[in-house]
Amino acid sequence: MKRIAHDGSALLWSALILTGSAVSAGCSSSHSSSGSDGADSGAGGNAPPCSAVTCAGTCTSGRCFVTVSTPPNNPCEAYDFVLGQTAVYWLDAASDLVLRLPTAGGAATTIVSTGAGAADQPYGLAVDADHVYWCAGLSLDGGYIARAPASGGAVTTIASGLNSPDELATDGTNLYWATQFSSPNSVVSMPVDGGTIATLGSGSYLVTSVFATRGQVYWSTGDGRVLTVPASGGTPRQLAYELTTGGVVVADSAAAYWTNSAGNVERLPLDGGAPTVLASGQTPIHALAIDDTSIYWINSWTDPCVGSAVMKAPLDGGTVTTIASPEGEEFVALAVDDTSMYLLVAGLGVTCASSSQPVLCTTESMSLVKVTPK
């Protein structure tokens, strides 16, 4: 179960209020918070200077931050966040909702209300070109997987009687998930239209993340293992065993990437070799994404008056860049496409100057923010 948020209020960045409804590539000096001349302060990595381009929102360190929408749902209970072709999707576990928000802007819509109570509470989430999928029923033999059209519509249950399904993923052909709190805990597959469920791997520890791409399935476990197996089945191959609590795993055609409880972001070539540490000393990481050149993650807040941070590093190693780190705010989740990053952002409901015991989760609002360039 990937819980992507735990606190929230209205979006208000210290010294940076995000507004607007559209974005063009880059930012203008009139919106810059990186210096009086709009020059890149150095935190922006390979982003252009704010003075060089135009921004419809707020510019900082050469990046344009635009609030696409402010959906009225509670980020205190937001689980899982995935990017589809034209929208982002997430789960509101408190209200048992699967929600959709267009990346071009507009109101959030409810794909489905799964029902009341733990028996129907949604957990894992995945999306392909046609459908959005989710797990529900975190219990032995009471779990199920359902789907609906990606734009909304009728709900179909495609698998039932499952042992605590979670960590859902898809490659557009099959669904992959973990059976949790069972003996053993397993990673399994099934065609997206339903059918035979095949076991890909099993172990005694909980599965902390599942990822599928290019005919391979990857997963991490609670004892710090990272494993892979062909999507068609076979003998799982252990990529790493780090003796730390497992985190999030993603992969591309060249390497697998993962996080661990030691605060590392690591990379391992798929053709062999030793893991490379891309970043160390990070605070607890609760999101991970990659594109063709870079890896991105969120450092969770450890002090609500400090807030969380969105980070970036080259896939093959190099300088770690802070994309944004506003005081007293939480980045809930992230996803990336070819040009932009999408962030769910929530306030922590604190007044840092006067509150030694801040009260969190005081309101029920958050914002979807689009960042260009990444």
pLDDT digits (tens, 9 = 90+) for 78-89: 667 899 988 888
Ordered by start, the domain boundaries in the chain are 29-372
Residue 33 pLDDT level (bands cut at 50, 70, 90): very low
Residue 227 pLDDT level (bands cut at 50, 70, 90): very high
pLDDT tens per residue, range 124-135: 899 999 999 998
Q: pTM (2 decimals)?
A: 0.80
- Local structure of 37: helix, strand or coil: coil
Query: Does residue 316 contact residue 273 with C-beta atoms inside 8 Å?
Result: no
What own/partner pairs with CB < 8 Å and gap ≥ 24 does 217-224 have? Answer: 217/169, 217/176, 217/187, 217/189, 218/249, 218/250, 218/251, 218/256, 219/167, 219/178, 219/187, 219/249, 220/246, 220/247, 220/248, 220/249, 220/258, 221/185, 221/246, 222/246, 224/260, 224/261
CATH H-level superfamily of 29-372: TolB, C-terminal domain (2.120.10.30)
pLDDT tens per residue, range 155-198: 999 999 998 898 999 999 999 999 987 778 999 999 999 999 99
pLDDT of residue 228: 95
Q: Using CB atoms within 10 A of its CB, is residue 33 exposed (0-12), middle (13-18) or buried (19+)? A: middle
